[in-house]
């Protein structure tokens, strides 16, 4: 199977000024489609209760709930096609394990709920099935300090479809690292969410210009439909 490229235009939200798009696309030649390779895998980043359910301080609210439903559509197709499926999650961090998170306030909520194992449990709607790997991490990227690259090499994978929460944080950090390891990186637009809309939109634009193909979920599903199971 040859490289398959989406025909979707570059992801340019209305908040991006034309001067920026001119600089990235016309002058810099950025935003080209890298396309899907031959061996894709799905990575769901931090789709946990603490980031989805409204009772948690760091929830993405309605955006997170909608995102989960779209990830479920993708996950069902990926399972039918027998793609390798991975998840990442954080865990309650204290002391040295928390690193510099407390210095920025991010991820160091004093909420009792956010300091529980439940907050870092993957939501039941897309819970992992036997054989689907869960990466436990302590930093934004699912690659940092984990065995993810080793696992991807085992199959071996050349294309990583990245979904999850939050767009401007752990998703973006994971995408940049995946790109750095020379994977083809795909981000389905409907399958990522953030607490802040501006952060969400700007991050998607930036990733599409530099590190990933940010494309509609429909294009990803169409690609998967053409794969042999």
Q: Which of 60, 67, 170, 191 is the catalytic position?
A: 170
Range 101-115 average pLDDT: 70
Q: Would you state the pLDDT for residue 163? A: 99
Residue 102 included in any domain:
yes
Residue 29 included in any domain:
no
For the question of whether the overall pTM of this predicted structure is more than 0.85, the answer is yes
Residue 198 included in any domain:
yes
Whether residue 95 is predicted with pLDDT greater than 80 in this model: the reply is no
Q: Where does the pLDDT of residue 46 fall: very low under 50, low under 70, confident under 90, or very high at 90 and above?
A: very high
Q: Would you state the pLDDT for residue 104? A: 77
Q: Would you state the pLDDT for residue 106? A: 64
Q: Would you state the pLDDT for residue 110? A: 65
106 vs 137, more confident: 137
Range 200-226 average pLDDT: 98
Range of the domain at 104: 39-225
Residue 13 included in any domain:
no
Task: Write the CATH number for 121.
Answer: 3.40.50.850
Residue 32 included in any domain:
no
Residue 15 included in any domain:
no
Q: For the chain, what is the domain count? A: 1
Catalytic annotation on 170? yes
Start-to-end Cα distance in the chain: 13
Q: Where does the pLDDT of residue 27 fall: very low under 50, low under 70, confident under 90, or very high at 90 and above?
A: confident
């Amino acid at each position: 199977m040859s490289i398959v490229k989406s025909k979707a235009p570059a992801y340019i939200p209305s908040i991006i000024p034309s001067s920026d798009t001119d600089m990235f696309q016309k002058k810099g030649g950025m935003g080209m489609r890298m396309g899907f390779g031959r061996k894709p895998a799905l990575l769901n980043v931090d789709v946990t209760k603490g980031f989805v359910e409204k009772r948690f301080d760091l929830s993405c609210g309605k955006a997170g709930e909608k995102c989960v439903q779209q990830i479920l559509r993708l996950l069902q197709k990926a399972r039918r096609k027998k793609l390798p499926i991975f998840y990442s999650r954080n865990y309650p961090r204290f002391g040295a394990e928390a690193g510099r998170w407390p210095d920025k306030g991010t991820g160091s909520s004093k909420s009792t709920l956010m300091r529980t194992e439940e907050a870092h449990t993957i939501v039941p709607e897309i819970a992992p099935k036997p054989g689907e790997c869960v990466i436990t991490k302590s930093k934004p990227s699912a690659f940092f300090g984990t065995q993810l690259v080793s696992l991807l090499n085992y199959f071996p994978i050349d294309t990583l479809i990245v979904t999850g929460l939050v767009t401007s944080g752990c998703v973006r950090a994971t995408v940049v690292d995946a790109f750095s390891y020379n994977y083809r990186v795909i981000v389905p637009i409907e399958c990522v969410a953030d607490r802040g809309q501006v952060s969400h939109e700007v991050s998607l634009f930036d990733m599409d210009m530099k590190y990933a193909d940010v494309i509609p979920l429909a294009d990803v599903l169409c690609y998967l439909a053409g794969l042999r199971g």
